[in-house]
Amino acid sequence: MTEPAPETKMQFLFAIRSKGVTDRRVLNAMEEIDRGPFVRGLFSERAYEDMPLPIACGQTISQPSVVAIMTQALQVSPRDKVLEVGTGSGYQAAILSKLARRVYTVDRHMRLVREARVIFEAQGLVNITAMTADGSHGLPEQAPFDRIIVTAAAEDPPGPLLAQLKIGGIMVVPVGQSDTVQTLIRVRRGEDGFEYDEIRPVRFVPLLEGLGQDS
C-alpha cells in the first residue's frame, strides 16, 4: 500500500489531537506507524478515517483516536515491558513498539497473530513478540509487566492480569456488563493495592476465554 498523501496524514493526526491526545511521544508513534497495512480488503480505503473497521475473525481495528487515548493513558516509558491482550490487526502493538523496550501481544485467533507477524516483520518491528494464547490468563511465563493493555472488554479487570502487573505498574482496560455500556479505566498497582480511575466511555468486543476456532 502506498503512503497516504500529506494532507491525509495531517487530517489523521488532527483528529487524534482533537480528542485530547497531547503526549508528544504518542503522537510521534501515531505518525510513524502507518495504519494502512493493518486494514485490508474493502475497508482499506478508509484506513485513515477516525473510525473502527472490521478485520478477520469477527474482530475490529479500533479507531485511531481510541488507540492513541489508550496509549497515552498507559504512560509507557522506553524501558517498559508491555503486555497487550488482543493483538487483532497488530496496529496497537506496533504503536506500543515505538514507545516500549519490549511488547508481548497475545490473541486467541491464530490467523490474526500470523497476519500481524507478517506486518511486524515487514516494518522491522523486532521488539514485538506475538503469540496465540488465551489472553484472559495473561502471559505468566513473562510476568511481571510494567504495563498491560487490554483491547477487549471484561466485566471487571481480570484477576490474572492484575496479578501480573508490577508494583508501580499500570493497566488500561475497558470494563462493562454489556457491549453497549463500557468504560475505559486505568488501574495502578501500588504497594497496598490497586487504584482505579475512569477515562471515557468506549465500545469493544468482549474478552473471551479459550482459543478461537480458526486455523
- Quick check: is 62 catalytic? yes
Q: Extract the C-alpha cell encoding 1.
A: 500500500
With beta carbons less than 8 A apart as the criterion, state whether 56 and 113 touch: no
CA atoms within 13 A on the CB side of 136: 12
Query: Helix count (H) and strand count (E) of the chain?
Result: 6, 9
Q: How far apart are CA 82 and CA 93, in angstroms?
A: 9
**DSSP string across 131-195:** EE--GGG--GGG--EEEEEE-SBBSS--HHHHHTEEEEEEEEEEE-SSSSSEEEEEEEEETTEEE
Dihedral sign, CA of 91, 97, 103, 104?
positive
Q: How far apart are CA 106 and CA 90, in angstroms?
A: 10
Could you give the 3-state DSSP secondary structure of residue 52?
coil
CA atoms within 13 A on the CB side of 196: 11
Q: Which of 18, 44, 62, 65 is catalytic?
A: 62
Catalytic positions are 62
